[in-house]
Amino acid sequence: MKIALVTDSTSVLTEQEVKDNNVIVMPIPVIIGDKEYLEGVNITSKELFETQKQGAAFPKTSQPSMGKMIELYNKLHAEGYEAIIDITLSGGISGYNATLQNIARNNPEYNLYPYDSKMTVRLQGYLVLAAAKMIKNGLTPERIIEKLDEIRQTIDEIFVVDDLKNLSRGGRLSNASAFIGTMLHIKPLLTFKDGKIVAFDKIRSMKRAVTKIESLALDRTSDLSYKDKLRLFVFHSNDLKQAEGIKEFINNNFPGMPVDIAEFSPVIATHLGEKSVAIAWMVDIDKIDLTK
């Protein structure tokens, strides 16, 4: 069966990964003032924050137009693809997946499978890479979705933002009202719950907050049945020095485990703000059976 694999740019796949796995990446727009940029095409997270330091309007994000999606799916259908799997950023922070669900219902000829990663950045990216492996191994779309569900259940992430301004203004923090009154000085700890960003604790300094998420990562991974098959991640918003310090902690406490450092994509950085950092983990897709 000929299956096309699509994702959005928040998955931050490398050019080589895209090429090697025949992935089609749909760029997500970032709007600053009256100018639209495309993530992964003509704006980086560093450039995004530079515009803010120069006094640009608060950035906003959008979905690719439905017309662009229909155009892509028509092209893939015409090229003989019998099914399309499209793995998106979390439906809890974007309406993108819901748009694809609507397209799938109204265009059954595409045999479109919109898949909500319930995450974003490299966590989403590794779900895409897992799907690519399974397509190469000849699995059906239905079986690929089942396996993605199993992998997705292993994903967890804890992150801290330097302040709540971006999250609260962008409406991406589901329980913001509990934190807004004291947001000037606190460093909120956040996680994804049912695909939505929720704050679950607040710490008085970034240094203490980072120590806390490091401790929580140890606690939350201590009893996992797949602890010997972990892949860990450190994400950051224009704060590589902080991320490298966290990676050193992970290397010391998870010896031999692979650790990726990556920036939050411009779309995600728009909502989290500068100096945000995260620790995340999931089962290493290179250590599980994706052949059946």
Positions of the chain with pLDDT lower than 50, given as ranges: 175-178, 181-182
Q: What angle do CA 267, 273, 275 make, to 5 degrees?
A: 120
Q: Please report which helix (H) or strand (E) contains residue 201, including its range.
A: strand 196-203
pTM for this prediction: 0.92
From the number of C-beta atoms within 10 Å of its C-beta (0-12, 13-18, 19+), residue 288 rates as middle
For the chain, domains (ranges, CATH) are 3-28+63-152 (3.40.50.10440), 156-287 (3.30.1180.10)
Give the amino acid at 35. K
**What is the dihedral angle through the alpha carbons of 270, 276, 277, 283, rounded to the nearest 10 degrees?**
-30
Instruction: Tell me what pLDDT residue 181 has.
Output: 42
Q: For position 223, what pLDDT does the model report?
A: 94
**pLDDT value of residue 44:** 83
> Cα separation of 101 and 114, whole Å?
6
> Interhelix angle for 240-253 vs 206-221, to 10°?
30
Angle between helices 96-106 and 66-78 (to 10 degrees): 50
| Nearest CA among 126, 138, 125 for reference residue 291 | 138
Paired tokens of 273: 């703000």
Question: Residue 232: how many CA atoms within 13 Å on its side-chain side?
Answer: 26
Torsion on CA atoms 145, 146, 151, 152, rounded to nearest 10: 60
4 backbone φψ class: left, alpha, beta (φ>0; ψ -120 to 50): beta
User: Which residue, chain included where needed, has tokens 């962008």?
Assistant: 170
SS3 22: coil
